[in-house]
Structure 1
Amino acid sequence: MILWHCLALLLLITVQTCTAQRCDEFTDLDLSHAIIGTSLKVRLLLYTRDNVTCGTLMSHTNLSAHPQFNSSRPTTFVIHGYRPTGSPPIWLDNIKEMLLVRKDMNVIVVDWNYGAANVNYFKAVDNTHKTADNLTAFIKKMQEHGASLSSIHMIGVSLGAHISGFVGANLDGLIGRITALDPAGPQFTGTTPDKRLDVTDAKFVDVLHTDIDALGFRAPLGHIDFYANGGTDQPGCPKTIFSGSSYFKCDHQRSVNLYLDSLNRTCASKVFPCDSYKDFLDGKCLDCDRFGDAGCPVFGYDVTQWKDVLLRLNQTKTYFTTNSDSPFCMTSYRLEVVTWNQDVRRGYMTVKLHGNGEVAVATIDHKAAEFKRYTETKLFAQFDKDIQSVKKMSLKFSSGEALKPKHKLRLLRIRLTHLERKERPLCRYDILLEQNKEVTFRPLPCEESNF
């Protein structure tokens, strides 16, 4: 009998230990589920600094059952989008872990894979409203336990962006922040604000656009809208259909990768308010005076530092460019060129900065620049990395017309001004550029006192 009691006690301890260590995971489905179709089921997985890698499945009605959940802490909801193959998003682990590094908070991953996994996209769209109603009821329970709506941040990807908007509208726009990562366009473009994400759905709404010509939403939706690389054709993404499924989803998914970079503080991408991507590339939108001493905003998680001025401006449309891989951020300069050729020259410029064993490259080739005698031509140069101390500089001029006679470009002066750091511009005088030949020289601090 004593032996039996000992065995029973050992079994109980083992069961309790296993239960304590049990981790709930995101629903993993496959293509067969999507083909058959899934019925909506919303699961809420809680992560905190005490259980960063081990999710806890939350009750929708009894928050007291979850001692890890602290209603006095801010809460961030992460909401995925359409899952045509049923597989879990590959970025989930990274985003929840990075959020918890940034702040002591509750991170709740909204798993609506049963509902999003369906080859019938229209069915998944229908389920966005039901998912939003489910989340709305849960947040009201949070309020009953002392949570503040203003401390809630919702990060929604694609369809998840509109789910966030529906929840915000249900709660009268009192949620603190909605971050929308390439909000879905199909079935939402052209609809009224009550049928999609809208600037009134939260106290602060920031939106990233990366695929406006296909899966994403084109028009501005938030207090600040970021258009990465104009919102289309992200660098490094496939250009032809022969690349398979990545051709269709790479631009759309890039939104998450860019946001992860901002969370990880890998680097900060400065953004510039502008009416169009063309004007941005032409360097017509480099004035950030409207943002005061803080200068132009940065894309991503830390844009809230500019929240007050952005709210006063109501809706701000911004642009920035990126590299093809992480770190995605580029460094912006203004390049001013004065030539003394008798005839007008048209062409493209490649600029290299050398320093500390590194080389940064900027290729200004979106259109042929026009160089007139004694006339200053202003170019917007975006380098793939930031060289803190520039030792040398290289220039190459090209007309882009291989069959025409090669010309020379005589530079009376060039001036290179960093747009993100307040430092003296770099200058060089009297340079002769032969077409397609790189010239390297040492730039010097500009002599002008007013820069």
Structure 2
Amino acid sequence: MFLVPYLTLVLLITLQMYKAQKCEEFTDLNFSHTFIGTSISVRLLLYTRSNATCGILLSHTNLSDHAQFNLFRPTTFVIHGYRPTGSPPVWLHDITALLLAREDINVVVVDWNHGAANLNYFKAVENTHKAAENLTAFIQMMQENGANLSFIHMIGVSLGAHISGFVGATFKGQIGRITGLDPAGPQFTGRDKSERLDPEDAQFVDVLHTDIDALGFREPVGDIDFYANGGADQPGCPNTIFSGKAYFKCDHQRSVSLFLESMNGTCSSRAFPCSSYKHFLDGKCLNCKRFGDDGCPVFGYEAKKWKNYLKKPEPMKVYFKTNAQPPFCVTNYMVDVKIWNKKAHWGYLTVKLYNDTKEAVANIDHRESEFKKFTETRLFAQFDKDIQSVKKVSLKYSTGNVLQPKRKLRILRLRLTHLEHQERPWCRYDILLEEDREITFKPIPCDESNF
């Protein structure tokens, strides 16, 4: 007769353990929900190093129920954007894992899919304010229980960037950091800064632009605004509408891919302050002395290192290029060319670097360059990968003009300078280039007397 109470106790304990270990998932909706439209509802899912893959649903009214939520640790809120299909963002697990790998923090995924999942984009925009009010109330509760606003980082994607801004404005810029990943442009462009993300919303606001001509925001809205590939068409993304939905979202979503790569340690993208993307490509903005030993800003998670070089409310626009596929980061070189030809020549250069196992390519073709006798032509080259211990260099000159006779470019000196490694430049002297014919040679350390 003692067996029944014993089994009951075991079942109760097992049930409690099951409940304690239950993992909460991001709300998964479908097209039927977005067609009908969803009303705003915000769920906060906590991830820490002790529950890195198992979300814990946080209470909006009582923090004491969650032992894993240490208010004295830094907290990062991840806020998604518009969800026209209702499905969870594919990048959520990756960003959570990478954040926890970098620091021992609380990661809170802000699930406002009920409100973001709506075919009516204007309704989703309206719901951003309600989501911000909900999140503001939660952070106020955190603050009342001892949390420091300076230790809060908000990462907002598209509409989520503006939600972050609304929250930050309520706290009068005391939030530590807001990262905006391609802040939404439609319904926010031209609005007063109180109605969108702006530099005053946090102690440090860093922003990435990848789709300024469509779904993203064109103008700077942070302390530092990174423009990848000029901020518009991203390499590797479809160029025509015949590619389907990828044509509409690829550029916009590239912002998340670039940020994730900035955290995974594979490589980093150095960005250069400049007045325009054209001037950047022309190599007119490569002076990084103002940033001391840190050099020009690096895009992504580590951008906060450059906070002290920035002045509110003056935004700094910085530019960088990427590859079409991961790893996205490129390697920046200065290429200086001095020719012997009597007449000026116009054209393009393709440069390749080799070591024993790898090849890196830079096509300097954004515009036609002019080469004049005894005049140094300075070109900015972005190689698709970083080559250590360069053993060979190849060079090709082209004009793109198939109707004229082939030309020859007599180079007095070619100099290659890595813009990040503090190493001696590589040179080659007296090279004869025939148009469209690649020539390969071994570089030598530059003779300082020739500078």
What secondary structure does 2:393 align onto? strand
Aligned to 1:160: 160
Q: Distance in 2 between matches of 1:48 and 1:18?
A: 19
Post-superposition CA distance 1:397-422 (Å, at most 9, x none): 00011222110111010111110111
Q: Which amino acid aligns with 1:144?
A: E
Q: How does 1:97-116 map to 2 (within 5 A)?
A: 97-116=97-116
Aligned to 2:444: 444
Q: TM-score, normalised to structure 1's length? A: 0.99
Q: How does 1:303-342 map to 2 (within 5 A)?
A: 303-311=303-311, 314-342=314-342
Q: Distance in 1 between matches of 2:76 and 2:239?
A: 35
Q: Distance in 2 between matches of 1:197 and 1:298?
A: 22
Q: Distance in 1 between matches of 2:450 and 2:311?
A: 33
Q: Distance in 1 between matches of 2:294 and 2:16?
A: 54
Post-superposition CA distance 1:160-207 (Å, at most 9, x none): 000000000011110000000000000000000000000000000000
Q: Distance in 2 between matches of 1:307 and 1:450?
A: 39
Unaligned runs of 5+ in 2: none
Post-superposition CA distance 1:411-450 (Å, at most 9, x none): 0101111101111101110000001100000010001169
Aligned to 1:78: 78
Using the TM superposition, give the Cα deviation of residue 326 of structure 1 relative to its aligned residue in structure 2, in angstroms: 1.3
Q: Distance in 2 between matches of 1:450 and 1:57?
A: 66
Q: Which amino acid aligns with 2:254?
A: R
Q: Distance in 2 between matches of 1:441 and 1:432?
A: 11
Q: Distance in 2 between matches of 1:313 and 1:404?
A: 53
Aligned to 2:385: 385
Q: How does 1:19-30 map to 2 (within 5 A)?
A: 19-30=19-30
Tell me if 1:51 matches 2:30: no
Using the TM superposition, give the Cα deviation of residue 314 of structure 1 relative to its aligned residue in structure 2, in angstroms: 3.7
Q: How does 1:51-450 map to 2 (within 5 A)?
A: 51-311=51-311, 314-448=314-448
Taking structure 1 as reference, are residues 131 and 449 closer, same or farther at Cα in structure 2, changes over 3 Å only? farther
Using the TM superposition, give the Cα deviation of residue 209 of structure 1 relative to its aligned residue in structure 2, in angstroms: 0.1
Using the TM superposition, give the Cα deviation of residue 294 of structure 1 relative to its aligned residue in structure 2, in angstroms: 1.4
Q: Distance in 2 between matches of 1:169 and 1:404?
A: 61
Paired residues of 2:355 and 2:389 also in contact (CA < 8 A): yes
Q: TM-score, normalised to structure 2's length? A: 0.99
Q: Distance in 2 between matches of 1:97 and 1:310?
A: 30
Q: Distance in 2 between matches of 1:415 and 1:316?
A: 31
Post-superposition CA distance 1:55-88 (Å, at most 9, x none): 0000011000111000100000000000000000
* Identity across matched positions, percent: 69
Paired residues of 1:42 and 1:134 also in contact (CA < 8 A): yes
Using the TM superposition, give the Cα deviation of residue 24 of structure 1 relative to its aligned residue in structure 2, in angstroms: 0.4
Q: Distance in 1 between matches of 2:312 and 2:201?
A: 17
Paired residues of 1:206 and 1:224 also in contact (CA < 8 A): yes
Q: Which amino acid aligns with 1:192?
A: D
Paired residues of 1:220 and 1:317 also in contact (CA < 8 A): yes
What secondary structure does 1:338 align onto? strand
Using the TM superposition, give the Cα deviation of residue 312 of structure 1 relative to its aligned residue in structure 2, in angstroms: 7.0
What secondary structure does 1:335 align onto? strand
What secondary structure does 2:6 align onto? helix
Q: Distance in 2 between matches of 1:443 and 1:18?
A: 66
What secondary structure does 2:448 align onto? coil
Post-superposition CA distance 1:204-246 (Å, at most 9, x none): 0000000000000000011110000000111110111111100
What secondary structure does 2:309 align onto? helix
Post-superposition CA distance 1:78-122 (Å, at most 9, x none): 000000000000000000110001111100000000000000000
Using the TM superposition, give the Cα deviation of residue 325 of structure 1 relative to its aligned residue in structure 2, in angstroms: 1.4
Post-superposition CA distance 1:100-149 (Å, at most 9, x none): 01111100000000000000000000000011011111000001110000
Paired residues of 1:47 and 1:96 also in contact (CA < 8 A): yes
Taking structure 1 as reference, are residues 79 and 411 closer, same or farther at Cα in structure 2, changes over 3 Å only? same
List, as ranges, runs of 4+ consecutive aligned residues in structure 1 with deviation greater than 3 Å.
Answer: 311-314
Tell me if 1:41 matches 2:41: yes
Q: Distance in 1 between matches of 2:62 and 2:19?
A: 19
Using the TM superposition, give the Cα deviation of residue 3 of structure 1 relative to its aligned residue in structure 2, in angstroms: 2.4
What secondary structure does 1:50 align onto? helix
Q: Distance in 2 between matches of 1:443 and 1:82?
A: 51
Paired residues of 2:29 and 2:85 also in contact (CA < 8 A): yes
Q: Which amino acid aligns with 2:328?
A: F
Paired residues of 1:86 and 1:113 also in contact (CA < 8 A): yes
Unaligned runs of 5+ in 1: none
Q: Which amino acid aligns with 1:134?
A: N
Paired residues of 1:76 and 1:152 also in contact (CA < 8 A): yes
Q: Which amino acid aligns with 1:47?
A: Y
Paired residues of 1:204 and 1:311 also in contact (CA < 8 A): no
Q: Which amino acid aligns with 1:352?
A: K
Structural RMSD (CA): 1.1
Q: Distance in 2 between matches of 1:449 and 1:411?
A: 18
Q: Distance in 1 between matches of 2:176 and 2:211?
A: 26
Q: Distance in 1 between matches of 2:101 and 2:137?
A: 28
Using the TM superposition, give the Cα deviation of residue 44 of structure 1 relative to its aligned residue in structure 2, in angstroms: 0.2
Q: Distance in 2 between matches of 1:128 and 1:336?
A: 50
Aligned to 2:6: 6
Using the TM superposition, give the Cα deviation of residue 266 of structure 1 relative to its aligned residue in structure 2, in angstroms: 1.5
Q: Distance in 2 between matches of 1:310 and 1:424?
A: 31
Using the TM superposition, give the Cα deviation of residue 248 of structure 1 relative to its aligned residue in structure 2, in angstroms: 0.2
Paired residues of 1:78 and 1:107 also in contact (CA < 8 A): yes
